[in-house]
Amino acid sequence: MKFSISSKLNKASIKNVEAFFLPVWVEKERYQYDDAVSVLDAADQKLVKNFLKEREPKAGEVHLIRLNKKPGFVFLSVEKEFNGKKLTLLARKYIRTAKKQGFKEVGIYIDDLADDDLAKTEIAGLFVRNSLLAHYDFSEEFKAAPKDGWKRVQNLTIFSDHDEKELRATVKENEIIAEGVNRCRTLSNYPPVKMTPEGLAEAARDVANECRPAKGGASSIKVTVFDEKKLYSEGMNAILAVGGGSDNPPRLVIMEYKGGQDGDQPLAIVGKGITFDSGGLNIKPGEYMSDMHMDMSGGSATIYAVAAIAKLKLPINVIGFIPAAENMPSGKSYRQNDIITAYGGKTMEIGNTDAEGRVVMADAIEYAKTKKPALLMTIATLTGAAMVALGTRWSGLFVKDNKDLRAALESIGETSGDAVWPLPLTEQNEKEVEGIFADVTNTHKSNSRYGGASSAAGFLSQFAGDQTFAHLDMAPRMTTNPEEEALSRGAAGFGVAYFVELAKHWETIRSTL
Ligand code: BES
Ligand code: ZN
Ligand code: ZN
């Protein structure tokens, strides 16, 4: 899907558009049209006015109306006020409807939607990003295509008198972010038979290859992959333990981008990369195992976040770490009551092989610390408990004792569209995972099932130690809520937009550390 910008909105420029977005404001049952209505044929304008008069649609209603002349259809949306949240959803519904109807060329006039709170560039960006997110459908990847191919919206024309250069920059930025999110969704959705730990490494190499300068030369992202031999020689026994039960050997994938100064302390992101979570020897019952091919969603978010930050050339140093393993039962599996020495020497006892995410992340956190990051963040589909606590609209945010950092990270959730909600992480949670025979245990020490998301965070925090640290439990946002969000089924791609937004506000974040 492509985007054009047109400074003139008239009968000639709208000629190729097949469906036009037409906002209508309603207040005290009086309708106020967008100026764009004037480009419609006189008889069609009347048709729209009569529709409003006869049907009296209420705020929130959306209708696709057939016209007699070009553009042919209007996507009529009635609201009291068109704010960012409403427009996000409307943009998605518009594109999904257009795609379903087989429209190829669609258009929107944005100038009347703008006000003091919402700039024209923001509206353009929002339409670009959400059009791409709503157009995406993983079911087109493996299903046989229909005879005349999948329906595709080919172009969205944005009509605006705003400075074209600025609009182009916004379009480009949002294309990069949305493409990152959609590719993250694809990688997460991919079946685990094809997407193994080495598959994650390949995805990282592929996207880094795209970050080479046009004239050739080194990519702005350096990818290093530790294979099982290197993991062994480095003493990364936790990743090896979880990966031990699988025929697909584990990896640690590292992606480094240096957009900042040489000495600038990096942002480190550790993303859980479990390519399939069967539970291991503590095997999951069938209904709990479904969707566990997406248990590497934190890892894929890390890959495409680092890539998007590099493609946007943001002035920050970032390192992504993806401990990747498949958690499977076999004669080589790690067991309950095993004691494992993680990278750096801390020991852990295994209370449950299904709490594997925190185990692989322990090695990666310890290793990330050697790069002296200003902030270390973890992102993981870590616990079902986070979903019980929060539902499926927010990821859990865990920050131990820095209120300013917590507030700043919450606000990144608001502005990025990847919403987060704070949950407790205290010294008590770190105590909950103290081991009996080892330094820590990967389950609650008295087997309490309450507050599981916080105990898991406490475990990660034990490994972070004195390192400035924040954790996102993205299990609640692993998959979309298709109806509510107007997105197709499957992985939500949570985290890519979050970390891009964080990188854009790195100075503000740093001031809280
Ligand atoms: N990957 C799961 C958590 C999960 C569940 C993510 C559902 C997304 C949707 C994780 O590895 C897990 O199995 N956690 C256990 C921990 C328990 C054994 C302490 C859980 O949440 O039940
Ligand atoms: Zn598990
Ligand atoms: Zn898991």
**What atom in ligand 1 is closest to the CA of residue 291?**
9
Residue of the CA atom closest to atom 13 of ligand 1:
354
Which residues have any ligand 1 atom within 6 Å of their CB? Answer: 277, 295, 352, 354-357, 381, 383-385, 443, 452, 475, 478
Active site residue 284: yes
pLDDT of residue 85: 94
Q: Would you list the DSSP string of 9-69?
A: -STTTTTT-SEEEEEEEEETTEEEE-GGGGGS-HHHHHHHHHHHHHH-PPTT-EEEEE-SS
pLDDT tens by residue, 73-119: 999 999 999 999 999 999 999 999 999 999 999 999 999 999 998 99
pLDDT tens digit at each of 513 positions of the chain = 999 999 999 988 998 999 999 999 998 889 998 888 999 999 999 999 999 999 999 999 999 999 999 999 999 999 999 999 999 999 999 999 999 999 999 999 999 999 998 999 999 999 999 999 999 999 999 999 999 999 999 999 999 999 999 999 999 999 999 999 999 999 999 999 999 999 999 999 999 999 999 888 899 999 999 999 999 999 999 999 999 999 999 999 999 999 999 999 999 999 999 999 999 999 999 999 999 999 999 999 999 999 999 999 999 999 999 999 999 999 999 999 999 999 999 999 999 999 999 999 999 999 999 999 999 999 999 999 999 999 999 999 999 999 999 999 999 999 999 999 999 999 999 999 999 999 999 999 999 989 999 999 999 999 999 999 999 999 999 999 999 999 999 999 999 999 999 999 999 999 999
* Ligand 1, pocket-test mutation among 361, 383, 446, most atoms within 8 A of CB: 383
Q: Which of 290, 348, 349, 354 to mutate to test the pocket of ligand 1 (most atoms within 8 A of CB)?
A: 354
Atom 22 in ligand 1: which residue has the minimum CA distance?
384
Nearest atom (ligand 1) to Cα of 294: 8
Q: Are 299 and 273 in contact (CB under 8 A)?
A: yes
Distance, CA of 130 to CA of 132 (rounded, Å): 5
Residue 289 Cα, ligand 1 centroid: separation in angstroms? 10
Specify the length of the chain in residues.
513
Tell me, yes or no, if 251 is annotated catalytic: no
**Residues whose CB is under 5 A from ligand 2 (ion)?**
277, 354, 356
pLDDT at 34: 85
Minimum-distance ligand 1 atom for the alpha carbon of 475: 8
- Check 93, 152, 258, 284 and give the catalytic one: 284
Q: Cβ neighbours of residue 473 under 8 Å, at least 6 residues apart?
A: 380, 381, 382, 383, 386, 395, 396, 398, 423, 453, 456, 457
Q: Decide if 321 contacts 254 (C-beta within 8 A).
A: yes
Q: Compute the distance between CA of residue 93 and CA of residue 486 in angstroms, rounded to an integer.
A: 6
CA of 381, closest atom in ligand 1: 6
pLDDT, tens only, 404-444: 999 999 999 999 999 999 999 999 999 999 999 999 999 99
Q: Where are the beta strands (DSSP E) in 202-307?
A: 221-226, 251-258, 267-271, 273-277
